[in-house]
Amino acid sequence: MHLMRSETTHNCDLEEVPSMWLVNDILPAINLEVLNRDCWNRCLVAAIYSPGHAMLPQILQHCDASMARQGIQTWLRCSIDWPYSRQDSGCGFNDFRMLVALSGGLCFDYDVCRVDDYGRPVYFHTSPVLMAIRYSWAFSTFRAAVQTTGIKVEELIRSQIELLSDGWTFERLVSLFHDHSELIKNGGGLLWSTKTYQLCNNWFWGPDEDEVSWKRRVNRIKAGMDLGAPLNEEEESEREELEVYLIDFHNGICRKCHEKNKKKKSRWTLLR
């Protein structure tokens, strides 16, 4: 099925769209397997990657709750990997509301496999809430989207703690959702400054991909620590490492090459 992007027709009568007449009446009569579950999953992903897609309501009529949950995961990936993908626009929030309505809510867990800058697979068990709070730009979008669904934050967090606490208490996770200070929406210019690097000609995200200051804030709230307390040894080490890498980054050196150079320098230091 060809998904046509439309900015203005997402409220139109989809029964009048010729392609939907073909999908609903003709193809099922010829060969029902043409429009199997895998086909609708691909259509759903394609529509989510284009916020406000005119065909999303019709596509969701052919999806079940588990497919909608996969759609929510895709929606979150868009917010994380492409912070300027307009997921935080009105049409993106409308997509989110439709997905949540079909999925039965936001409290479900799933496994994620992501590839780091070095091509290594990283596996972890998570949920929409826990995935969103990994990055400030994704969290700001997710939190605003949740508000449009009518779901109360306290109810969401209570269910989240019962499902998968990941070391959080109810009170501390609620306080994170209600904390609106120092939140870097969309990561800021430094975080998402992208380029190809002179040593390796690779294309990478900005230097602070892990958002050191945001991770520190989240970890402190999670542990019940004073947000204004001096940095501990681990926090200071992370801050210093970022400051060192920023020099290489502005000189056109990617994180991977930076780490290689650091190891070479360490070897030379040991041999002296």
**Considering the domain boundaries, does residue 264 fall inside one?**
yes
**Considering the domain boundaries, does residue 254 fall inside one?**
yes
**Considering the domain boundaries, does residue 30 fall inside one?**
no
- Check: CB of residue 43 under 8 Å from CB of residue 1: yes
pTM for the whole structure: 0.76
pLDDT at residue 4, as a whole number: 38
- Angle 134-63-85 from CA coordinates, rounded to 5°: 40
pLDDT at residue 3, as a whole number: 40
R_g of the chain, CA atoms, integer Å: 22
**What pLDDT tens digit does each residue of the chain (272 aa) get?**
434 333 333 334 444 444 555 555 545 545 545 578 888 898 899 999 988 888 899 899 889 999 999 999 999 998 887 766 666 778 899 999 999 999 999 999 999 988 776 678 889 999 999 999 998 888 988 999 999 999 999 999 999 999 999 999 999 999 999 987 655 544 444 444 455 566 676 655 666 777 888 999 999 999 999 999 999 999 999 889 888 888 888 787 877 788 787 777 665 554 45
**Considering the domain boundaries, does residue 241 fall inside one?**
yes
d(CA 111, CA 113): 7
- Check: CB of residue 63 under 8 Å from CB of residue 102: yes
- Check: CB of residue 70 under 8 Å from CB of residue 104: no
Contacts of 199 (CB under 8 A, 6+ apart): 252, 253, 254, 257
**Considering the domain boundaries, does residue 245 fall inside one?**
yes
pLDDT at residue 12, as a whole number: 40
Contacts of 101 (CB under 8 A, 6+ apart): 149
pLDDT at residue 122, as a whole number: 87
**Considering the domain boundaries, does residue 132 fall inside one?**
no
**Considering the domain boundaries, does residue 242 fall inside one?**
yes
Scored b (16 or more CB within 10 A) or e, 227-244 reads eeeeeeeebeebeeebee
What phi, psi does 25 have (nearest 5°)? -115, -45
**Considering the domain boundaries, does residue 263 fall inside one?**
yes
Q: What domain range is 229 assigned to?
A: 193-272
d(CA 113, CA 96): 23
Give the total number of structural domains in the chain: 1
